[in-house]
Amino acid sequence: MNEILYIIPCHRMPERCFHFKGKPMNLCARCFAMLLGYMCTPVAVAIHLVLPFWVPIIMAIPLLIDGFTQRWGWRQSSNSIRFITGILFGIGQSILVSTIVWTIVQYVN
């Protein structure tokens, strides 16, 4: 199972990972949260969730702000913020996928 996680592009910096039993997880807090958010995709598609395209874009903005302001050295983020912005992004992407799927289905019918 751990080998599968290594195909995910993640920097895996130990100080940016949650620790379990004293060891850092194989993904950083942000990537882990994004994966949890992506797990909402089957549910979103199953319930025919269709929202305006701007909703997932709005949900991605906190991650972009957090990531870029940290990268530019303006501030230091925390794992809690990384997790929150990551899960918002992941759920937003799930909503985007569901919206695209059901828009195509509606168009084809």
**Residue 68's Cα: distance from chain center in Å?**
15
For 31-84, the pLDDT digits (tens) are 999 999 999 999 999 999 999 999 999 999 999 999 999 999 999 999 999 999
**Percentage of the chain modeled with pLDDT above 70:** 94
Which residue's structure tokens are 């530019």?
Answer: 72
Position 5 scores a pLDDT of 62
Encoded tokens for 61: 């903005």
Other beta carbons less than 10 A from residue 8's beta carbon: 13
pTM: 0.88
How far, in Å, CA of 75 to CA of 70, rounded? 5
Q: How many CB atoms lie within 10 A of CB 69?
A: 13
